[in-house]
Amino acid sequence: MKKIKYVALLAIVFTILFVTKANAQTWNIGFPDTTKVKAILTGNKLVIEGKGAMKNYPRHKIWKDSVTSVYIKKGVTNIGHHAFYDCRELKTITIPDGVTSIGESAFKNCENLAAVIIPNSVTVIKRNAFERCTSLKAVSIPDNILEIEEYAFYECFSLENVLLGNGLNQIGDCAFRACHNLSSITIPKSTSTIGEIAFRECYNMQNFEVEKGNIKYSSVDGVLFNKKQDTLVAYPNGKEGKYKIPESAVVIGNSAFASSKINAVRIPKTIKTIEGDAFRYCHNLSKLKVPNSVEEIGILPFANCDSLERIKLGSGITEIGMYILSQNENLLKIKIAHKNLKFSSKKGILYNKSRDTLVMYPRGKKGSFMIPENVICIKKGAFEDCQGLTEIVIPENVTTIEAIAFQYDRNLKTVTNRSTTPQKISSEVFSYVNLKNISLFVPSDVVDKYRNTDVWKEFGQIKAIE
């Protein structure tokens, strides 16, 4: 009887093994010799075995929807590009010592991957490698890793703890961008390059530390500077309240304050350059004063500051692009220092010095506006995205209306154009505006001219000024 039971048990085990083996799927995934490395999928478990490199995969793979665990055996030397891209059910990964690189987008969108141990043999984490691993809470970067490429941990929303190894030389652009729960980071002494907006949208970030001996970077009260402390690199996004920039600073770097919770900042007279996106998305800033020392301002430095109502620009500014104050829906007043040689302001509106060119109209102003009689030019984007603007009167002297001057002004109901000669304008002047819903009023003797002139003829109604 015991013998029969034993034989039956063996038969069951054999059947299980046979069925398991029969149900397993195998792929040759080595490079350059595909047979050197194999992937074996049994149920929800994927095993990578062999000797040498994995090949780089396209973004969609046979196993992406089913695998919950991956076990890479010793002998495999790299994880290929897109290897486990979109494996949304993947929960565990075992990476052996001997793997030297983690490929581009290797674990991108693995939203259930909660932990990963990176072996010391890895020297590079490629771009987007762990992007949107939204359950990943901690990561330790071994000392042998020299580079974390751009977007490597982008939008790892749950990431709370990051330990950077002592050999790390480069942190790529946006490497830890939008890691919302990351509250502090220590930059190793070996790090010589931190890419643009590497830590932007880290909304809980309170503190940047820099190891003693780093020759490129330093930290002052938790704020990241270059070594000389003449460039402010990054202000912690999670810090609230006021901040006084130290007088050693000459440059406010790209996106330095972008997305931060700061509600007031004092810019010293030592600052000469404010780079692009410097204060973008600073939703709590209500006013800002740019000192006379500032000579250069990048693209979109004060854009999307929802609470910004007033800004004063200094006398040193010689160029003002249309995007400097873009999408500030509550901005009511733009002032500029009287001694500025190129620009002036009146009633909160920005003009050139002689006031014959309207440069920028505050996006927060509502209702109707009559452009002054002496204006001959409306600059590019001057009224762009003025959602509260309902009526505009263009004086007779205006001969030039540049591209996207009234772009996105979707609530505009009436345009009065007093010019007796319809200005030649491109379709971009009123782009994303339904002209059929707008009434155009023009001098009585030129109604027909407007009805036969490109762009102007597209208005819903063209009538004589009464």
Contacts by residues 338-345 (CB-CB < 8 Å, ≥ 24 positions apart): 339/292, 339/315, 340/313, 340/314, 340/315, 340/316, 341/315, 342/317, 342/318, 343/313, 343/317
Strands 30-31, 53-54: pairing kind = antiparallel
List residues bridging with 217 in a β-sheet. 226
Average pLDDT, integer, range 165-182:
97
List pLDDT tens digits, range 220-241: 999 999 999 999 999 999 999 9
Task: Give per-residue pLDDT as tens, 302-317.
Answer: 999 999 999 999 999 9
At 217, the amino acid letter reads: Y
**pLDDT, tens digit, 9 for 90 and up, residues 324-380:** 888 889 999 999 999 999 999 999 999 999 999 999 999 999 999 999 999 999 999
- pLDDT tens digits, residue range 278-310? 999 999 999 999 999 999 999 889 999 999 999
pLDDT over 90 at 65, yes or no: no
The residue-averaged pLDDT of 138-167 equals 97
Which helix (H) or strand (E) covers residue 414, if one does? Answer: strand 414-417
* Predicted pLDDT at 60: 60
Question: pLDDT tens digits for 11-61?
Answer: 433 333 333 444 789 999 999 999 999 999 999 999 999 999 999 987 666
| Nearest-angstrom CA–CA distance, 355 and 353 | 5
pTM for this predicted structure: 0.87
Fold for 366-466, please state it.
3.80.10
Residue count of the chain: 466
- Residue 176 and residue 182: Cα distance in Å, rounded? 9
Identity of the residue numbered 316: G
Report the share of the chain in percent with pLDDT over 90.
Answer: 89
Q: Is the pLDDT of residue 9 over 60?
A: no
What are the sequence ranges of the domains in the chain? 366-466
State residue 59's pLDDT score: 67
In this prediction, residues 98-120 reach a mean pLDDT of 95
